[in-house]
Amino acid sequence: MMRCCIYGFILLMVLGPACTREHHDYEHHRTSYFRNIHDSLYNDSILVCATFNIQLGFPATKNPWDKNISGAGRVQVERIAAMVRQVDADIVALQEVPRNRYNAVIKDFIEKLATRLNMNYAFGAHGYNDPEGIYPVHGEWGNAILSKYRIAGIENTEVSYVDQWQKRSILCTLLEINGSFRLNAISYHYDNGLGEMNEAIGNTKLYLSRLNDPVIMMGDSNYQWAVDEYYLEFGEAGLADADSTYLTGIDRILFSRNAFQCLGAASWYDTINFTSDHPLNSCLLKIPRP
């Protein structure tokens, strides 16, 4: 009897991992969730908005796609938080946000960053995407929103698709600014392929057409032509560019032109710590009074 038990144990040790390996729906699954750390309402007349591609929590000097290099640790949380504090942002759109990635030191990166800033947060994945050579793939990447305002709900909507590894989504959060004014804060990150970008822009405009509340759309356009051409893509959807002449490159802030007035914009690239390979772009938007 003892021998049978030992053989049985050995068999379970050999077969167990194959039988219990977690299944991933790489084709369809996209993790999305939000949490309100606090439920405060405000009577603000001006919003400070920022967009920042954080390069998967790695500094510009490190490659987040190299499985032998680790990043997304405590130091990066502190550096990103410091940049957000520097502009005193009320709403932040983040791109290339890691979740459970193989070479990320902190697996729940957005949770740690939001807690450090005491901001409500939402996350929406494009899909699974670990460094090359890692399988099974457990890690995801995507967009996030940080907000001092209460998040009433979110939608994470796929806007372009090449295959199960190459797809993009937009994350829309409905924010309650005060008792009478709400807005949709959107974080996006388009692919740089012409076909994928055009597909994403078209699907984003379709998505915008069914929103009732004003929109602030921030993110990484990866647009390869003149900024004014990119703005024209969304002009018919009622969006204006915060500053097409000053904000750096492909990281844009667009807003409903009939609902906000832009009072200024700024762009900051960290040349001391090289916190990311992108700048943090920000602007001031005046909101209407009830």
First and final CA of the chain: distance in angstroms?
80
Residue 21 lies in a domain: no
61: in domain: yes
Q: Is residue 14 part of a domain?
A: no
Q: 77 by DSSP, 3-state: which?
A: helix
For residues 103-121, give the mean pLDDT: 98
Q: What is the pLDDT of residue 228?
A: 64
How far apart CA 249 and CA 226 sit, in angstroms, is 9
Three-state DSSP state, 254: strand
- 73 lies in some domain: yes
Report pTM: 0.90
Higher model confidence: residue 168 or residue 247? Answer: 168
pLDDT at position 225, please? 63
Domain containing 244 — which CATH number?
3.60.10.10
281-290 b/e (C-beta count within 10 Å ≥ 16 → b):
bbbbbebeee
Evaluate whether residue 51 is within a structural domain: yes
- The answer to whether residue 258 is domain-embedded is yes
Instruction: Dump pLDDT digits (tens) for 173-226.
Output: 999 998 889 999 999 999 988 888 889 999 999 999 999 999 999 999 987 666
> Counting every residue, how long is the chain?
290
Q: What share of the chain is helix, strand, coil (3-state, %, to 5)?
A: 25, 35, 40
Q: Is residue 3 pLDDT above 50, yes or no?
A: no
| Within-domain flag for 30 | no
Specify if 19 maps to a domain: no
**Total of domains in the chain:** 1
Domain extent at residue 252: 38-286
Residue-level pLDDT at 192: 86
Can you tell me the distance from the alpha carbon of 287 to that of 87, in angstroms, rounded to the nearest whole number?
A: 18
